[in-house]
Amino acid sequence: MFLSKASMFLSPGRVRSAFGRLAAALAVVAFASGTASASVTYSFTGVTNNSVADTNTGVDQLSVTVSAVVGNPNQVDFRFDNAGPNASSITDVYFDDGSLLGIASLTDSGAGVAFSVGATPGNLPGGNVIDFNASSPSTFFTADSLPAVEPNGVNPGEWLTVRFNLTSGQTYNDTINALSLALAHPGVDWTGGLRIGIHVQGFAGGGSESLVNGQPGPETTATPEPASLATAGLGVLMGLGYAWRRRKQTAA
């Protein structure tokens, strides 16, 4: 109501000008809101099996979500989550190679989670049984906690995101395809395939285990918040149009 009354005092030229500026702004917002981020979450499966209970804990509560980076199609995020509740800590992450070029950034949930590029040891412990190769070059395809022992890794309720630059021309879809290719040929370092390994310590019994990504869940998409701004702005636009028509009718 306030908008309609205020608009009654605007000249037709000013209303048209305001109408045009708002329409242009909404077009920009609508374009941004139409950009969705796709992601796929992968479970883990055991590579080593020092303890059945520890391996089952890792399988049950650890995951990695691979996501497109909005605004940069040549980067992909890998977010490692420890859902808990059982004691465990992801202390090393390894990538066997696919579409990856190099680590762009490491971000985490804080509160003791701190990682740096380059893991020790350079390859996934026990990874030789599945021909896992991440040690060449290790400085680009691995990361570990500082220092690389629990509880400095990803503990229950915590997370780590590794953002990767992709090789020239590669995209999020190529990364998902590389993961699918490796899963279709388990136990070998398949050319063009991508595998994700983790070394986990801090189990209740004091042991450690290595795991590799397993089957994916369904792909999901998330639309950024600007969509709600576009909806609100559309209401304002309609209000201006209504007020302008009312004014013309009154003048007639």
Confidence (pLDDT) at 37: 86
Joined tokens for residue 184: 């279709």
Distances (CA, A) of 175 to 41, 55, 68, 98: 13, 27, 9, 7
Is the pLDDT at 150 greater than 70? The verdict is no
Q: How many domains does the chain have?
A: 2
Is the pLDDT at 20 greater than 60? The verdict is no
If asked whether residues 11 and 70 sit together in one domain, one would say: no
If asked whether residues 58 and 130 sit together in one domain, one would say: yes
Joined tokens for residue 203: 């189990």
If asked whether residues 80 and 160 sit together in one domain, one would say: yes
If asked whether residues 148 and 88 sit together in one domain, one would say: yes
If asked whether residues 21 and 55 sit together in one domain, one would say: no
If asked whether residues 98 and 163 sit together in one domain, one would say: yes
Confidence (pLDDT) at 137: 65
- Regarding pTM above 0.85, the answer is no
Confidence (pLDDT) at 10: 45
Distances (CA, A) of 89 to 78, 115, 126, 144, 240: 17, 12, 17, 11, 57
**Location of structure tokens 């000249």:** 11
If asked whether residues 117 and 135 sit together in one domain, one would say: yes
Is the pLDDT at 241 greater than 70? The verdict is no
Average predicted confidence (pLDDT) for the chain? 81
How many of the other CB atoms lie within 10 Å of CB of 167? 14
- Residues 69-87 have pLDDT tens digits of 999 999 999 999 999 999 9
Residue of 138, 134, 124, 84 lying closest to 210 (CA atoms): 124
Is the pLDDT at 7 greater than 70? The verdict is no
Rounded Cα distance between 172 and 23, Å, is: 33
Confidence (pLDDT) at 219: 92
- The CATH number of whichever domain residue 130 belongs to comes to 2.60.40
If asked whether residues 51 and 26 sit together in one domain, one would say: no
Rounded Cα distance between 61 and 56, Å, is: 9
Mean pLDDT, rounded, for 29-34: 41
If asked whether residues 29 and 47 sit together in one domain, one would say: no
Q: Tell me how far apart the terminal alpha carbons of the chain are, to the nearest angstrom.
A: 22
Confidence (pLDDT) at 111: 78
| Non-local CB neighbours of 185 within 8 Å, separated by 6+ positions | 193
**Location of structure tokens 């605004």:** 71
If asked whether residues 77 and 160 sit together in one domain, one would say: yes
**pLDDT-derived band at 149, boundaries 50, 70, 90:** low
Is the pLDDT at 95 greater than 50? The verdict is yes
Mean pLDDT, rounded, for 159-172: 95
Helix (H) or strand (E) holding 195: strand 194-201
If asked whether residues 240 and 204 sit together in one domain, one would say: no
If asked whether residues 69 and 133 sit together in one domain, one would say: yes
Query: What domain range includes position 236?
Result: 2-33+225-251
